[in-house]
Chain A
Amino acid sequence: MSTDHMNVDAGPETSLRDVVTTRGGNDPAWLATARQDALSAYEASSLPDRVQHLWRYTDPQRFLPGERTPTTPDSHFGDLPADCQDATYEHVAGYALARDGRVLRSALDPLIADKKVVLTDLCTAAREHEDLVRPRLFSLLDAGGDKFEQLSAATFAGGTFFHVPRNVTIDRPFVVAHRVGGDGLIASRSLLVAGEGSEATIVFDLTSVGDDDAPLRHEGLEIHVEPGARLHVAFVQACGKRVTHAPVIRCRVERDAALETVSVALGGALVKSLQTTELVGKGSDVRVLGIVFANGRQHIDHHTLQDHVIGRNTSNLDYRTVVADRARSSYTGNLRIGLDGVGADAHQSNHNMLLSKKARADTIPELEILTNDVTCSHAAACGPIDEEMITFCQSRGISPRDARTLIVTGFLEPIVERVPGQQLRERVRSAVADRLDRVV
């Protein structure tokens, strides 16, 4: 069962306003209006204040489109990734292929057809599933207005819409393979909804077409985990070294629900990722995991927020970073317990391993606690590979080089093993091993 979602934008794309109007032309009226409003908000808002920690280490100017014009999505995906060749759906429950921000094609295991899971392009969904999309789309956008979030809300070419209906449980992961190319602005938005009591896993596999492609990528994601649902999401970003990537991920987790996100950041010249998770109900459980492995002159900047609006729930964040050569990682995170957050159990941890003298790691793990009956902690550490561990390995006959590889691999593995899907996990492991080969 597969559907094609190919749309060809009319005419050459020039100004942002023209693009928004053209792209909105295929949308239902409410969405076309929302795009125009977002563009106005984008144009009216100033660049983020660099005094605030969120943008302390990365210049927001570099994420402005400037001379770049929005890219018309290519309609050709290229070779299918291994996961998406699984014609028998033995390992995956379904997949979507996306190019330059738009889902070209999606397919689901025919055996789950009766479960009414939707995996399609967001623009298509806005037309065909208005009842599911309209109440939720843009509902998690920061009211304060993140400028770049408004940009993707206005100009998105498409994106993933994933909906798991109430009480539906799918045991295999869904895969969204997304390739980007060119050097224009690629904007996309995705909306993931795990309905009440449902259970699902979805993986985003992001790569670029060629090593020389240098697009500016603004992506907005909204993730709704409804009461009692369990959702596991992975983002594996292995773009080429010239891509600029700026995802904004907003998650909302309701009572008794569980959300685990795993983010793997390997590619890109400059990455600025913002991920916020609101816990709005009791009994929920959130895990935010991430690894960053940067080399060359990569600069990867991650910001997270764990926001316990309501208490009696747990959140755990674990970000592990390895920086080599002249690469730089910046992690800023906030753990916030609101006035009604009584009984929250929240932890945040960021460990950084520096493999070279010129590498740099910044970390700001913040706590903002507004009530007292809570258990909160954070920890951060930066350091080189422990010499004693290398000496120990040598005493067991392992060369220093192998020892370093082992230690770094072991440091990252607890996060890597949380990447769903055997094939994808193996790909992450081999990407880590390849990079280690070059930097150790």
Chain B
Amino acid sequence: MSDTTVDRPKGAAGTAGLGDDYDTKYGFHDDESAYDFKSKKGVDHEVVEMISRYKKEPDWMREVRHNALDVFLSKPMPTWGSTELLNSIDFENIHYYVRASERQAQDWDDVPESVKNTFEKLGIPEAERKFLAGVTAQYESEVVYHSLREDLEKLGVIFTDMDTGLREYEDVVREHFTSVIPAEDNKFAALNTAVWSGGSFVYVPKGVEVAIPLQAYFRINTENMGQFERTLIIADEGSKVHYIEGCTAPTYSSDSLHSAVVELIARPGSTIRYTTIQNWSKNVYNLVTKRAIAEAGSRVEWIDGNLGSKLTMKYPAVYLVGEGAHAEILSVAFSSSDQHQDAGSKVIHAAPRTTSVITSKSISKDGGRGTYRGLVKVHEGAEGSKVNVKCDALLLDDRSRSDTYPTMEVDDEAVSIEHEATVSKVGEEQLYYLMSRGLDQDAATTLIVNGFIEPFTKELPMEYAVELNRLIQLEMEGAIG
């Protein structure tokens, strides 16, 4: 749908007076019993006002939200990527804010059979299944989490949900919120900024190395699987952190639009690794903006796996702004029938001797479409920078499709950029060899696929790697979807 058909007030003038009748209209204020609230469908300044008031946010954040909504309403839909699917999103038919209690109230019986079957096959514990299906909002890892949190607190690490982060660390949030991804960046970042809820807030103090990965999973937060998550991670000088978002098991959501924003700030000498394994159910549009600022000598790694959703458009970015900063982006996309994984990466070299390595693997089967879309930009003065991009695509049948759209812009002479891409099918010789060893064709193909994505799997924590391999196996057997 087009924005121009929506008649809404714009700018500050448009928000004036909004919310004046808030208390009488919604009766929220401090009344805990009013928690059964769910916003009306569609998004406008009233909904934004409601969300912000409901969360008791400071005025500046409310303003940020309203301004972002204006940006969202004024920006046209992207005219690139999967425009047909993008244009089919009905923004008026979405609840932009649903209290977690609402989601919790959802019935296990409403979860589609295919999702339940996959849980069964993956051997996901009962309680976790319900959590993943959005039926229950708590994962029974409270004990684990508590001890973890105590350890982190001793180190001075802040790891909380974004809403709590805003309440308890307002100054830090205010300084960095939208500093990496302003609302004006793109239509979906603007939407997220207007209606965000949930997500993680992480701060790692100077010199602290967080030994175990932080998982959104463990965070006792009713909103961590939200539609419009907002995550901000700050790694102070010389610190080191690994954050894991999502999980390999399919995440069922009745909402069709998920639009997260993730901002990473890597201070000099720090390391941030951000691992995502996205496996939304196949009704979901997953339109995500992820970007990192990497200062001198820091290292940012995006490990990004895309298995689920109907359409994913996600291009994790690193802005290398300090000398010697390094970006590493490793991604895998698996597209099956009726899926389009439009994923890639973006690296901006804006300082001397910055380096980046981009590795992308995509597998398409049963008519799925995998797209690599990337940008490497080397600014003048980024001398001595080095870029290596490698994209490999595996097509498992003649109905599937693979696209590679890499963009390289080089403004300085003393840099080295290499890009390579190949597209192939599963090698007859490899199959023949494995089958001669007694494997049937499916098992042989699965083995080849697992080998193909191995550079990705080996970067995952063990339990994720095991789950991912099993998931691929299920996908290959056609047992899912």
Q: Which residues of A contact B (CB under 8 A)?
A: 49, 51-53, 56, 339, 342, 352, 354-384
Contact = CB atoms under 8 A, between A and B. Distances in A.
Contacts of A53: 405, 407
Main secondary structure on B side of the interface with A: strand
Contacts of A339: 398
Contacts of B1: none
Given A53-B407, A384-B414, A370 B401 contact: yes
Contacts of B407: 53, 56, 362-364
Interface stretch (B250-258, B419-427, B430-438, B461-469): B419-427
A294 to B, nearest CB: 14
B64 interface: no
Nearest to A377: B422
A384 B395 contact: no
Contacts of B360: none
A352 B410 contact: yes
A357 B412 contact: yes
B415 interface: yes
Contacts of B405: 53, 364, 366
Kindly list the 3 A-B residue pairs having the minimum CB-CB distance in the complex, ordered from nearest. A372-B395, A367-B404, A354-B413
B367 to A, nearest CB: 10
B380 A381 contact: no
A357 B397 CA distance: 46
Given A357-B412, A374-B423, A379-B419, A51 B80 contact: yes
B406 interface: yes
B403 A383 contact: no
B79 interface: yes
A372 B400 contact: yes
A199 to B, nearest CB: 33
Contacts of A375: 424
Given A362-B408, A384-B416, 18 more contacts: A51-B79, A51-B80, A339-B398, A354-B410, A360-B409, A362-B410, A363-B410, A365-B419, A366-B403, A368-B404, A375-B424, A377-B422, A380-B406, A380-B408, A380-B418, A381-B419, A382-B416, A382-B417
Nearest to B369: A370
Contacts of B417: 380-383
B414 A357 contact: yes
Contacts, number: 122
A374 B410 contact: no
Contacts of B380: 357-358
B337 to A, nearest CB: 15
A373 B413 contact: no
B403 A369 contact: yes
B410 A372 contact: no
23 contacts: A49-B79, A51-B79, A51-B80, A354-B410, A362-B409, A362-B410, A363-B408, A364-B408, A365-B406, A365-B419, A371-B399, A371-B401, A374-B423, A374-B424, A376-B422, A377-B423, A379-B420, A380-B408, A381-B417, A381-B419, A383-B416, A384-B413, A384-B415
Contacts of B339: none
A52 B80 contact: yes
A396 B162 CA distance: 64
A382 B408 contact: yes
B122 to A, nearest CB: 28
A114 B419 CA distance: 51
B195 interface: no
Given A51-B80, A383-B416, A383-B417, A369 B423 contact: yes
A52 to B, nearest CB: 7
B120 interface: no
B410 A360 contact: yes
A358 B411 CA distance: 7
B138 interface: no
Contact of A382 (B402, B403, B404, B415): B415
Contact of A372 (B404, B414, B425): B425
B393 interface: yes
Contacts of A369: 393, 395, 401-403, 423
Nearest to A360: B411
Contacts of A354: 410, 412-413, 415
A27 to B, nearest CB: 38
A339 B400 CA distance: 9
A371 B398 CA distance: 4
A9 B409 CA distance: 46
A364 B423 contact: no
A367 B407 CA distance: 12
Contacts of B413: 354-357, 359, 384
Contacts of B400: 371-372
Interface in B75-125: 78-80
B396 interface: yes
Nearest to A366: B405
Contacts of A364: 405-408
Contact of A377 (B78, B378, B420): B420
B80 to A, nearest CB: 5
